[in-house]
Amino acid sequence: MNTDRFEDENPRTSNVTSQSTHVTDEDRDTTCSSECQSNHSKDPFHLSDNEEDSSDIYRPVIKKRCIAVLANDLNLNVSEIAVKKTPRVAYVHSQDLLTKANELIRIEGRAELVHSLIRTYGLLQYLQVVTPRPATQSEILAFHSSDYIQCLQDISAVSDSEDIEEQHKHEVESYGLSYDCPLQKDLLETASLISGASQAASQHIINGLADIVINWYGGWHHAKRDTASGFCYINDVVLCILKLRQQFDKVLYVDIDLHHGDGVEEAFATTSKVMTVSFHKLAPGFFPGSGELNDVGTGRGKYFTVNIPLMDGIKDKEYFSIFTKVMKQVKDRFLPDAIVMQCGADTLSEDPMTSFNLTHFGIAKCVCYMLTWNLPTVLLGGGGYHFPNTAKCWTFLTALAAGKKLPVDIPEHEKISTM
């Protein structure tokens, strides 16, 4: 597969229904006029060339690489972040947010590991700590349907999961609240607080109080307008972007999670004001099974969606090479005003997903590259199911954003070593 070719030779219309127009801006339209069709008859970003990638980019997983990398492997220095001035960095956190996020069934205990390691390294002294509030119902309804949110509200009021399934069986099935999105008490309250955290990150940027805002509790990129999906109930990423759009004309969304950022892509597939770029695994039977190279958006949003499907076994060097090649062209053609980056850590070599062979250093290089753009940036969490390694990775990224050096091989924290 030639990952350099993003030109849509066989356009395939995105599965965005008319309901998705709930996410609006002055540029949104699900049908192109004749003038619009003419303007988009060719890829406006010219994201194509005739080079052929080496087959060595994709290698079978022969031996998993430990998350710790040797000192002589390191060629990234904090000074390489070409910022015009020392960035002001904020960190979204509260004890209530930590408690709620830490109880999420699929990632139970992860939030505490992440925050504990960041605190233990003394990084909080270099960060503005932003205390979030829950997203209001009107804020959530900027993207999600009222029927779906009402269902979450009804479910949250029932304490026993068996009672929920008995009383709301039809809703549970129709709204995707099943195996990969398990029911639990206070579900809407928890999801609203996490979404409020991502909106707080955007608002802090809008208020001009920080250049980079971190919310490792966020990044739930699979939730759709009226369905839960892939452990995600409310799409805090979409709400974060919509908030930024109140101040910034063009917002770039970059997703380096192992899984395709399908919910975010679908939300903005028909607008030219938000460009979504997703680097992910695409394989038969692998969730969510979307994000092909020729999925490029639709209507006025055609060619404002970029998908880079990658194969198992890819390592830091090859991943970063592809990442920078794509993002250089995106920057030149889209000229964004702000960035939202989802930093899922399920691409790490020891993650239970056992797919990509990245280290936290490889992920850091991609984040570092985006920070060199010197644009207002929100960094979000996402996947990451080897909790100690995810904590190490996001602690490393936090230090990187704050301009502080950490050992490449982050030692075990008290809580991590007991797992």
Give catalytic residue positions. 222
Query: Which amino acid, 329?
Result: Q
Q: Strand 274-281 and strand 128-130: pairing?
A: unpaired
Residue type, 280: H
* Contact call for residues 333 and 47 (beta carbons, < 8 A): yes
Give the CA-trace dihedral at 228, 351, 130, 120, to 10 degrees: 150
Give the HSE-up count for residue 251: Cα atoms under 13 Å, Cβ half-sphere.
Answer: 27
Answer for the pair 348, 66: CB distance below 8 angstroms, yes or no: no
Q: What are phi and psi of 56, to 5 degrees?
A: -70, -10
412/419 Cα distance (integer angstroms)? 10
Helix (H, G, I), strand (E, B) or coil at 61: coil
Q: What is the largest CA-CA distance in the chain?
A: 63
Is residue 126 within 8 Å of residue 404, measured between CB atoms?
yes
The span from the CA of 244 to the CA of 266, in Å, is: 18
Strands (E), 234-331: 251-255, 274-281, 305-310
Q: How far apart, in whole angstroms, are the C-alpha atoms of residue 362 and residue 165?
A: 43
Task: Confirm if 316 and 322 have CB atoms less than 8 A apart.
Answer: no
Q: Is 412 helix (H, G, I), strand (E, B) or coil?
A: coil
Q: Are 381 and 218 in contact (CB under 8 A)?
A: yes
Which residues are CB-neighbours of 414 under 8 A, at least 6 positions away?
A: 120
Alpha-carbon separation of residue 258 from 54, 140, 148, 220 (angstroms): 22, 26, 27, 13
307 CB contacts (<8 Å, ≥6 apart)?
260, 265, 277, 278, 280, 291, 292, 293, 295, 296
Does an H or E element contain 338, and which?
strand 338-342
